Amino acid sequence: MHPQTLLPFLLSLLAIHTTACNPTRRSTNTNTNTTTPNPFKIGTDGPAPPKTLGYALNHMGLITNNLTAMKTFYGSILGMRTLFDVTLTPEYTVTYMGYAQGGRNGTGFQTGTEMTTSKNNMYGLLEIVEFSVSDDRVVASTQRTNTFSHVGLVVPDVVEAQAYLEGAGVEILKGVGVPITEFEGAVPNALGVGGFAGAHLEAKRRLVEAQGLIGWENFLLLRDPDGNLVEIQQQDI
């Protein structure tokens, strides 16, 4: 498509299909309120500062209470590969994990050596840090709202992903097609609207009513072994 026609085309798609975060298949979005304003606002930022040319988000970090369990969950179940473990002291270990090619699985197998060599040119990596003798037990976002919310993944088929994860014994906090209706508990805590957000019930009710605008009901939500919320969405086809 010619560059001059690309932006109008994308904007027209956005106007027609406000559920930009939704699965593009098996949609259960039933919001038909045509008077509700479109919640999406296209960014109007100009070019980034020249000094930031080449900057990219390489990884996010988690502190864990149980490195073995976290590696099993993100590796054996969710398919991330271990780049390396660095045992700086007998008590302190840093682990890097990620998907092949720094993106989606299936784009080519890479050994740990190959991924480590490419580490600083990859995206979407997970750094997991464990201090095994810490007396401070980490409180996950599903237990207490904090500055961390969730890990987000995209998958080719979110319905199939749910069936796979249920078969693997993973606890599903919210299944595909199930709306969020509670103001208390793990999911609201991690989304910043749980009990720790106060008694602003009317504001919370409005949020529950508006969730169809971004397709929250179509997200698959679960938690990792440390209690962090993991959000899984359908990738665009």
| Pair (127, 66) in one structural domain | yes
Domain membership of residue 164 (yes or no) is yes
**Residue 100 maps to which CATH number?**
3.10.180.10
pLDDT digits (tens, 9 = 90+) for 65-89: 899 999 999 999 999 999 999 988 8
- The pLDDT, as a whole number, for residue 89 is 83
Domain membership of residue 41 (yes or no) is no
73, 102, 131 — which closes off a domain? 131
- Between 33 and 183, the more confident residue is 183
Domain membership of residue 213 (yes or no) is yes
| Contacts with 192 (C-beta within 8 Å, 6 or more apart), sequence order | 145, 149
Domain membership of residue 24 (yes or no) is no
| Pair (127, 159) in one structural domain | no
pLDDT digits (tens, 9 = 90+) for 2-20: 444 444 443 443 443 334 3
Domain membership of residue 191 (yes or no) is yes
Per the listing, tokens 């097609």 go with 177
Total tally of structural domains belonging to the chain: 2
131, 160, 176 — which closes off a domain? 131
Encoded tokens for 5: 């026609």
Domain membership of residue 74 (yes or no) is yes
State the Cα–Cα distance between residues 18 and 216, nearest whole angstrom.
12
**Residue 214 maps to which CATH number?**
3.10.180
**In which band, very low, low, confident or very high, does the pLDDT at 175 lie, cut at 50, 70 and 90?**
very high
- The pLDDT, as a whole number, for residue 117 is 87
| Pair (112, 66) in one structural domain | yes
DSSP-derived secondary structure for 175-231: -TT-----SSSHHHHHHT-SGGG-S-HHHHHHHHHHGGGTTGGG-EEEE-TT--EEE
Query: Is the pTM value of this prediction over 0.85?
Result: no
| Helix, strand, coil shares, percent, the chain, to 5 | 30, 20, 50
State the Cα–Cα distance between residues 183 and 187, nearest whole angstrom.
9
Domain membership of residue 142 (yes or no) is no
Domain membership of residue 96 (yes or no) is yes
Whether residue 35 is predicted with pLDDT greater than 60 in this model: the reply is: yes
71, 101, 131 — which closes off a domain? 131
Domain that holds residue 109: 59-131
- The pLDDT, as a whole number, for residue 5 is 47
- The pLDDT, as a whole number, for residue 13 is 38
- The pLDDT, as a whole number, for residue 185 is 81
- The pLDDT, as a whole number, for residue 11 is 44
- The pLDDT, as a whole number, for residue 96 is 93
Write down the mean pLDDT value for the chain: 78
| Pair (155, 207) in one structural domain | yes
Whether residue 33 is predicted with pLDDT greater than 70 in this model: the reply is: no
The mean per-residue pLDDT over the stretch 116-128 comes to 86
| Pair (68, 115) in one structural domain | yes
The mean per-residue pLDDT over the stretch 56-61 comes to 84
**What share of the chain in percent tops pLDDT 70?**
77
Whether residue 217 is predicted with pLDDT greater than 50 in this model: the reply is: yes
pLDDT digits (tens, 9 = 90+) for 191-216: 777 776 666 777 777 777 766 666 77
Q: What residues form DSSP beta bridges with 130?
A: 64, 93
- Between 207 and 61, the more confident residue is 61
Phi, psi angle pair for 67, to nearest 5°: -60, -40
